[in-house]
């Protein structure tokens, strides 16, 4: 499932709190966007067509909730990035970040811990 950057902002809102009306989504995005209700409704309709969310009638409005789990979305996005840019391999990704962005001591410690955990599992 392909979700645009704008749609992913709406999904983040719904992953954090649901069910929400379109007004609730607009309010949740107010600090990070200047989107009005028609824009949010367009994005909600796109997500409905993609079956990423569901809508339930509540009087004169609809309440929206995610069908797509955040973990599944993150997995698909990260796998797509690895496949497209790094041949599906993690090491070149880490090397890229180490060359272009200074990895802090905390990042390095976490990477070492993850590698040790992976070694213990195999």
Count helices and strands in the chain by DSSP H and E runs: 6, 2
- pLDDT, tens digit, 9 for 90 and up, residues 53-66: 999 999 999 999 99
Inside any domain, residue 122: yes
Q: Is the Cβ–Cβ distance between 105 and 112 less than 8 Å?
A: no
Q: Tell me, what CATH number does 53's domain have? A: 1.10.10.10
- pLDDT tier at 99, thresholds 50, 70, 90: confident
Inside any domain, residue 53: yes
Q: Is the Cβ–Cβ distance between 48 and 68 less than 8 Å?
A: no
Q: Is the Cβ–Cβ distance between 53 and 21 less than 8 Å?
A: no
How far apart, in whole angstroms, are the C-alpha atoms of residue 62 and residue 55?
A: 6
* Mean residue pLDDT across the chain: 93
DSSP 64-115: EEESS-HHHHHHHHHHHHHHHHHTT-HHHHHHHHHHHSPPPHHHHHHHHHHH
pLDDT, mean of residues 40-64? 98
pLDDT for the residue numbered 40: 97
How far apart, in whole angstroms, are the C-alpha atoms of residue 59 and residue 18?
A: 17
The number of folded domains in the chain is 2
pLDDT for the residue numbered 95: 87
Q: What percent of the chain has pLDDT over 70?
A: 100
Inside any domain, residue 112: yes
């Amino acid at each position: 499932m392909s979700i645009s950057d704008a749609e992913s902002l709406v999904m983040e809102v719904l992953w954090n709190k649901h069910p929400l009306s379109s007004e609730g989504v607009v309010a949740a995005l107010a600090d990070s966007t200047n989107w009005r209700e028609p824009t949010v409704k367009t994005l909600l309709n796109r997500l409905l067509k993609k079956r990423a969310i569901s809508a339930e009638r509540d009087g004169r409005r609809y309440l929206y909730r995610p069908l797509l789990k955040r973990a599944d979305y993150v997995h698909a996005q990260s796998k797509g990035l690895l496949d497209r840019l790094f041949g599906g391999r993690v090491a070149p990704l880490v090397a890229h970040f180490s060359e272009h962005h200074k990895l802090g001591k905390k990042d390095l410690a976490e990477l070492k811990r993850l590698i040790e955990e992976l070694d213990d599992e195999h």
